[in-house]
Amino acid sequence: MNMAMMRLRREDPRVVGSFRLHRRLGAGGMGVVYLGSDKKGQRVALKVIRPDLAEDQEFRSRFAREVSAARRIRGGCTARLVAADLEAERPWFATQYVPGPSLHDKVAEEGPLYAADTAAIGAALSEGLVAVHEAGVVHRDLKPSNILLSPKGPRIIDFGIAWATGASTLTHVGTAVGSPGFLAPEQVRGAAVTPATDVFSLGATLAYASTGDSPFGHGSSEVMLYRVVHEEPHLHGVPDALAPLVRACLAKDPADRPSTLQLSLRLKEIAAREAQGLGEVRPPGPRAPVSDRASVRLADTSPDQQRTTQRRAAPGTPPPRGTAPSRGGAPSRGGVASRPGTRPNPAGRGTGNRPAPRSGAGRPAPRTTGTKLRPANPRLLRQRLTVFVVVTLLVALGIAVAQGCSGPARGLGGDGGEQRTGVRQASVPGDGQGRVA
C-alpha cells in the first residue's frame, strides 16, 4: 500500500463517524486509507471498505478479522486501534496515524540499508511479532510496504488478511492470499499458518532491506510462488553478519526457522555489534576532509582538549608530540593527544597506544617511526652528554685529590712520583693532565 499523501477525490467522503478526512494515504485491495482527525486534533489513519465490496460477505468478514486482530494486539510495534464501525454501510476503522515512509519506499528511494540499521529494524519487528502471536494472530502478509518507519521505530500495519493461528491461507481452492516473494511455502501449499509463517516473511523483508530486491527475484505470480516452494533464496548482497540468520528464517520447513523471540534477541546482538564497527561495515563513501574528521573527534574531548586539538589540526601544523603519525595522513589510533604538561594514562587504558615514558626533564622519550629509532631532541642529548663528561672529570679529579692527600700516610714514598702516576691512572682517558694543584 502506497502511503504517500494525495488530495481527496470528488467521490471521497469528507466525514466518517466523528472524524474529518483531510488526505488520501493510499488504497489497497480492501479499501481506501485516509488521513483524518478527531475533534481534539488527534490524527488517525482511517480505512474505509470499497463500495463494490461493502456488500460482499467475504470481504466484510476479512475486514472484521482485521479489526478483531488490531483490538487483541498489545504492543508498541503496531498501530493502536482508535475506533471502528463494522455495521456501517461502508465499514471502517481508525488506527493511530504513523508518520514516516514505508520500508519499501525508503529502500526504493535511498537504496539498501546498512547492516546495523537492518538488524535494528528486524529486532523491533520481531519483538512486535511476539505480541502479535501472543494475541493468537498471524499477520500472513508481512512485507516492506506494510512496515512504516516512524520516528519512534518501525510499525506493522494492514492486518487485512490476518488470521487465527492454525487457519488455512486459502480463500478459494488453489488461491493463496498474500504477496508473492514474501509468502511462506506453507501459504502457497494451502497448509495451516503458524507464527513461523510470519518469520519467513520477515526474513524475506530483511533480505529486501539489505539488497533492495526480493530474495526470489521477479516474475509472474506463478513463477514467484514456484521459487518460494522449490528454490533456494538468493542472498547475494546480504551482509555476512545477517546472512546466516536470514537464511534460517527462509527455511522451507517451518520447524527449522527460529522463533520470533530468538530472532529478536539475535538481531539485537547483531545490531549492537554492527553499530560499534559501523565504519567497517558500511560501503566505502567519499573520504571526509581532515578538518571534518577532526571536528568529529572533538565531540569526545573536553573543551580544553578541543581548543588544543583544533590548533594542532590546522593545515600545515605538525602532529602532536608523543603520537606516531599514521599512514595516509589520518590521526593515529588512540584518540586525541593529551595537552603538554599533562600526565598520560598510566596503564594505557582506553587508548590504542602505550603511554609515552617521560624523562626526568619532563619531556617525551625518543619516539619511533615506521623504520628506526631517532631522538626526539638532539640538543637535549648533547646537554646530557656534556653533563656526563663534566661529572666524570669531577669524580676523577676528586679521586686523584684524595689519593694525593693520603699518599705519605700510607708510605707510598715522598717524591710525589707515585702520586702523579696514581692521578694519571685514575683520570679518564683523553684527559692528558693528571695534575693536582
Q: Distances from the Cα of 235 to the Cαs of 133, 209, 231, 238, 268, in angstroms?
A: 27, 11, 12, 6, 21
State the cell numbers at 94.
Answer: 481508525
For residue 70, the SS3 value is: helix
Cell of residue 164, nine digits: 487465527
| Angle separating helix axes 260-276 and 195-211, nearest 10 degrees | 20
Instruction: Please pick, among 141, 213, 253, 431, the residue that the annotation labels catalytic.
Output: 141
The DSSP call for residue 101 is -
- Going by C-alpha positions, the residue among 41, 39, 40, 36 that lies closest to residue 16 is 36
Helix, strand, coil shares, percent, the chain, to 5: 40, 15, 45
The DSSP secondary-structure symbol of 78 reads: B
CB under 8 Å to 271, separation ≥6 — which residues?
116, 119, 120, 122, 123
Q: Coil, helix or strand for 170?
A: strand
**In Å, what is the CA distance from 419 to each residue of 189, 397, 407, 434?**
115, 13, 7, 10
Active site residue 85: no
d(CA 59, CA 160): 9
Residue type, 345: N
Output phi, psi for 77, to 5 deg.
-105, 10
Is 129:162 a contact under the CB 8 Å cutoff? no
Angstrom distance (rounded) from CA 338 to CA 321: 9
Region for residue 214 given its phi and psi (left: phi exceeds 0; alpha: psi -120 to 50; beta: otherwise): beta
Length of the chain: 437
Strand partners, 35: 23, 45
Q: Copy the grid coordinates of residue 397.
A: 679529579
Gap between the Cα atoms of 334 and 348, Å rounded: 10
Instruction: Name residues whose C-beta falls within 8 Å of residue 326's C-beta, 6 or more positions apart in sequence.
Output: 332, 333
Residue 47 assigned as binding residue: yes
Binding residues for ATP: 47
Q: Which residues are catalytic?
A: 141
Which residue ranges are tagged as binding site? 47
